[in-house]
Amino acid sequence: MRIREIQFNDNSQIESIIKSIFRELQLPLTGTVYEDVETTQMFESYQEEKAVYFVVVDEGEVKGGSGIKVLDPKDASICELQKMYLSHEIRGKGYSKQLLEICLDAAKSMGYKQCYLETLSELKTAQKLYKQYGFEYLETSMGNTGHSSCGVRMIKTL
């Protein structure tokens, strides 16, 4: 397995992984990335400046991914960790940590000062990982992500 930047041909695979996880874990579909237009166009969505999306690939098959992008264009110092999802066959094998480290390193190299994220309250393992990496809980949301069902918000100083 290896981790690399997303390519155009990865779009359908990463969309399928993200949407299947929502169904598998019976997560809310409304007010989440499940409904995001960019979930169907991941490669295109991360072509802007100071944005990158990484995928975990095994023998040409995408198994998961995560990315960073500016949270609010009015404040280019804060990025958002976005769409960290792994297929069930690679969960618990350290790929979330690797993706998180790669994303945080990329964020620092792009000049971001803070990294924000939103997640679902049901995703306890993800929250535990984020806390291990220094993310702290926030009471209110930042930016305009449109993810009203994501009741957990966290931030980390880079």
CB neighbourhood size of 13 (10 A): 20
Q: Give the pairing type, strands 75-86 and 52-58.
A: unpaired
Q: Are 57 and 86 in contact (CB under 8 A)?
A: no
Instruction: Provide the whole-model pTM.
Output: 0.90
Tell me how far apart the alpha carbons of residues 105 and 125 are, in angstroms, rounded to a whole number.
22
Q: Along the 158 residues of the chain, how does pLDDT read in single tens digits? A: 999 999 999 999 999 999 998 888 787 677 777 777 888 999 999 999 999 999 999 999 999 999 999 998 888 999 999 999 899 899 899 999 999 999 999 999 999 999 999 887 777 888 899 999 999 998 876 666 554 455 688 999 99
2-157: CATH, from 3.40.630.30, 3.40.50.1700, 3.30.420.40, 2.60.40.10: 3.40.630.30
Unique residue bearing structure tokens 């979930």:
39
Q: Give the pairing type, strands 136-138 and 2-5.
A: unpaired
